[in-house]
């Protein structure tokens, strides 16, 4: 993406003018997610869990969406229940929070394995 002053408070979308040609390729191939593996290795993130959000939006969504803050009971993840169910990009924040909280309340090692396996075909379908 090109530099901008409002990166912390602006959500990106499929038609975001800030995305460069290289950025488009990185997003389409999901190589833009690779640096997050370092966060997993450092223990700051998990492979599976609710996707992280920027602090500005965490505050906004916590005020607007019932149960949004509950999803922060666990570490953020590179992939999660919401993502493998198609809730990416500009999808419903309410539905993401609901699914993230369901995942947390019903967590199992088996569900994490299934989510990771379902992530593989999901990656090839995602446009952004």
Please answer whether residues 72 and 99 qualify as being in contact, where contact means their C-beta atoms are separated by less than 8 angstroms. no
Q: What is the pTM assigned to this prediction?
A: 0.70
Strands 46-48 and 77-79: parallel
Per residue in 68-84, pLDDT (tens digit) is: 888 888 999 999 999 89
Residue 78 CA to residue 48 CA, distance in Å, equals 6
The residues spanned by each domain of the chain are 35-125
**Quick one: pLDDT band at residue 128, thresholds 50, 70, 90?**
very low
Q: What are phi and psi of 88, to 5 degrees?
A: -130, 170
pLDDT of res. 41 = 94
3-state secondary structure of 77: strand
């Amino acid at each position: 993406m090109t530099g901008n002053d409002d990166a912390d408070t602006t959500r990106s979308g499929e038609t975001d003018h800030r995305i460069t040609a290289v950025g488009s390729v990185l997003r389409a191939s999901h190589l833009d997610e690779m640096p997050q593996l370092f966060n997993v290795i450092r223990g700051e993130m998990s492979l599976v869990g609710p996707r992280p959000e920027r602090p500005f939006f965490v505050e906004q969504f916590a005020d607007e969406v019932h149960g949004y803050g509950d999803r922060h009971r666990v570490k953020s993840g590179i992939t999660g229940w919401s993502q493998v169910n198609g809730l990416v990009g500009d999808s419903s924040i309410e539905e993401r929070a609901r699914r993230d909280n369901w995942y947390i309340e019903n967590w199992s090692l088996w569900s994490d394995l299934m989510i990771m396996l379902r992530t593989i075909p999901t990656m090839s379908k995602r446009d952004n």
